[in-house]
Amino acid sequence: MATFRVAAEPTIDLTELTAALQPVLNLRTGNVHGFEALLRGPGGNNVNPPALFRRARREGWAEALEYRARELALQAARRHLRYKEVLFLNGDVRYPIDSACYPHLVLEINEARNVDKRTVEKLQRDGLSLYLDDYGVSHANLSRLLDISPSGLKVDRGIIQGIASDPRRFTVAQNLAKLANEHGLSIVAEGIETAEDLSAVINAGFQYGQGYYLGRPELIPDRYRLSQLRSAIRASATPAASESGSPASDFGAAVAAMV
């Protein structure tokens, strides 16, 4: 495996990179839906993947980094994911990927990148599920949703964080969830970091959730904590809030109902 060095920046040894797994939960049942694989440094230490990929593109080793990140993600999934759990993988569609490399694979498309529509359509014909990542900000807008016809959306943390105390955020999120549900798209709320925001996301009608409150990226998933969250979500499951609802602020021992 190659090592890359430039004078102004430290050496990057691709063999020292690892993949951490962050859970994505089904907010209607509390079950683990899957895990997103996130690139990390030695021993699970944080790296900044966007900055690392920008550097790789600038220095000409982006392809090597892309395939190394995929390899690590697949290794982690085969070790730690259970039957039917989905592997969410950030990927650059310009580099070929075999849809059969993992039985339940979702490729997240970051709309900040230039995505070729024909490439996307080929991946879909090959049976790969594609999600628009960071939806609701930057290039991830309604026109891209119509162009690409993905299987699902991951709504950006910029919309989700603070949703419990901001009626405007709640209304925007609720409308996105309604759009997705009406058109048969899966929808994931990213960046859930408080009990109150989790409650609001559930009541806005989201199917799935992800964020530090539900579980941080870990080299080995904490299944015990995930089982506790499952029990709490199941105990407090309620129908989605009405069109005129407002986000609740009291989670308590379990997920609070929207009133």
Structure tokens at 197: 């925001």
Spatial distance between the Cα atoms of 168 and 103, rounded to a whole number of angstroms: 39
Per-residue pLDDT at 244: 40
Cα angle 193, 209, 112 (rounded to 5 degrees) comes to 90
- Domain presence at residue 77: yes
How large is the C-alpha radius of gyration of the chain? 19
Contact 255, 233 (CB under 8 A): yes
Total structural domains in the chain? 1
Contact 214, 188 (CB under 8 A): no
CATH of the domain at 113: 3.20.20.450
Looking at residue 46, its amino acid is: N
Exposure class string for 205-226: b at 16+ Cβ within 10 A, else e: bbbbbbbebbbebbeebeeeeb
- Domain presence at residue 75: yes
The pLDDT profile of the chain, 259 residues, written as one tens digit per residue, is 655 554 345 577 899 999 999 999 999 999 999 999 999 987 777 788 888 988 999 999 999 999 999 999 999 999 999 999 999 999 888 888 888 889 899 999 875 565 777 888 888 888 889 999 988 876 556 777 777 888 999 999 999 999 999 999 999 999 999 999 999 999 999 999 999 999 999 999 999 999 999 999 999 999 999 999 998 888 766 544 334 444 444 443 444 333 2
Per-residue pLDDT at 243: 43
- Domain presence at residue 109: yes
Structural domain boundaries, residue 175? 15-235
- Domain presence at residue 181: yes
- Domain presence at residue 254: no
207 CA to centre of own chain: 13
Task: Bin 184: left if φ > 0, else alpha if -120 < ψ < 50, else beta.
Answer: left
Q: State pTM to two decimals.
A: 0.86
- Domain presence at residue 206: yes
- Domain presence at residue 99: yes
Per-residue pLDDT at 20: 96
Per-residue pLDDT at 141: 65
- Domain presence at residue 243: no
